[in-house]
Chain A
Amino acid sequence: DIQMTQSPSTLSAFVGDRVTITCRASQNIDSWLAWYQQKPGKAPKLLIYKASSLESGVPSRFSGSGSGTEFTLTISSLQPDDFATYYCQQYKNYSRTFGQGTKVEIK
């Protein structure tokens, strides 16, 4: 199985900060990577697919980059609504594994 490792596990930041989350795959997944946002008690929401394609309706302050085994999710200016947990997900093979999540907290 392809393992996905996110860092950091928790991130504390101020409103307005630029925030970067990293996701590493245990083997090459080309650009078969998605990012999701989840708030407590709610279903996840798709943000990014194909490593860098912004899902319709998602604010442009979210961006994704990377290919192969290393990927990043960047929030250019953190807003109060962005405090949540973020997950990466590979879909190179049928197992569709997720990272363990990165919780973004208010500093």
Chain B
Amino acid sequence: EVQLVESGGGLVHPGGSLRLSCAGSGFSFGSYWMNWVRQAPGKGLEWAANINQDGSEKYYMDSVKGRFTISRDNVKKSLYLEMNNLRGEDTAVYYCARGHTSPWDHVFDIWGQGTMVTVSS
């Protein structure tokens, strides 16, 4: 079964840091673009960051540039999101999502169940 499982969410104070992980299984992890998409409570979806197959290309939404770092380990079939200097507006469910097959790499065909990040004092 093709699956993505996120972990690492929790409660953190403003200005704090958190590292999210996403474990992939049931597919050739290193062959796909991977993404983080977030959803604030009661709000819509917001793409946050993505990374290409070998990690040489990384892109971020403007509001997280310089604070978040996406990375991957294809041997461990894992995706990561290092989040620093967290703000209240970063509070959201964070989903790991796989890019579709080329040339539809930036369509999200497989999603994890999400991990909740709460930034509050």
Question: A residues near B, CB below 8 A?
Answer: 1, 34, 36, 38, 42-46, 49-50, 55, 87, 89, 91, 94-101
A44, B111: Cβ atoms closer than 8 Å:
yes
Give Cα A87–Cα B61 distance, bound, in whole angstroms.
Answer: 18
Number of interface residues of B (CB under 8 A): 20
Nearest Cβ distance between residue B53 and chain A, in whole angstroms? 16
Question: B residues near A, CB below 8 A?
Answer: 35, 44-47, 50, 59, 61-62, 95, 100, 104, 106-109, 111-114
Tell me which residues across on chain A come within 8 A of B59, comparing CB atoms. 94
Interface centre among A42, A43, A46 (most CB of B within 10 A): A43
Nearest Cβ distance between residue B74 and chain A, in whole angstroms? 22
Nearest Cβ distance between residue A44 and chain B, in whole angstroms? 6
| Known A96-B47, A98-B44, A100-B44: A34·B107 in contact at CB below 8 Å | yes
